[in-house]
Amino acid sequence: MSFFLCRAQLLIALAALLPACDTDPTGDFEVTYAPAFDPSAFVSDITNPFFPLAPGTTFRYEKETDEGLEVVVVEVTDSTRVVAGVAARIVRDREYLDGELVEDTFDWFAQDADGNVWYLGEDTCEIENGECVSRAGSWEAGVDGARAGILMPAHPAVGQAYYQEFYEGEAEDRGEVVSTSANASVPYGSFTACVRTRDTTPLEPDVLEHKVYCSGVGLVLEEEGDERLELVDVTTN
């Protein structure tokens, strides 16, 4: 992942990992939050209150679109995969459109000792008529120049901006914390004091998403234009 630092002393200390500061052309914010990636400084469980991933938990989201009902099922498995020297939790993300599977993705997450949740890559497959037709967007930290990113900071604060993933030309999502006191009402419940982020990518400069993460649950809402992907149910095995 290509991180950006704005303080010269940190740049010198982390020169082997992180190049220089820049500005996000899609969101006009500087990406300045970039802790060093140290494979020895990770823990086994993902317990960040705004993005907890307990094995056996399944999240169900729904969204009405012009194409039909979109359902996203996110399953936190009890399996791990070593990515860039870290035992990452495997999370399966399946997207359905009017009952038909259209995308099947395996994401890899891990939490460092400070509580930051890192995104270490994904193996994604776009499906048509039951066949995988594209793996565009797949990436793995440490492979072909790809770098891990921060999905949720340990202590979210307004103004924090960071790469969530980086594989040049394939995966360049960026996030910025815009509120730590957001409210959200979705079918699963009503929440207060949540973290709201603004997400962009230079690969799709016209796309702007806002996401809301609530303590003890995680992601409860994604908004893009007039469309809302809402948390409908959470189950545990």
- Is 2 a domain residue? no
Residue reference for tokens 């189950």: 235
> How far does Cα 73 stand from its chain's mean position?
15
Percent above pLDDT 70 for the chain: 85
Nearest to 70 by CA among 224, 235, 234, 237: 224
Number of neighbours of residue 146 by Cβ within 10 angstroms? 23
CA distance linking residue 172 with residue 166, whole number of Å: 5
- Is 201 a domain residue? yes
Domain that holds residue 18: 8-236
Look at residue 166 in the predicted model and tell me its pLDDT.
87
- Is 3 a domain residue? no
Which CATH number is 41's domain given? 2.40.360
Residue-wise pLDDT tens digits, 139-197: 999 999 899 999 999 999 999 999 999 888 888 899 999 999 999 999 999 999 999 99
- Is 116 a domain residue? yes
Do residues 59 and 234 touch, judged by C-beta distance below 8 A?
yes
Dihedral pair phi/psi, residue 198, rounded to 5°: -110, 120
Q: What is the pTM of this model?
A: 0.86
**Total domains present in the chain:** 1
- Is 124 a domain residue? yes
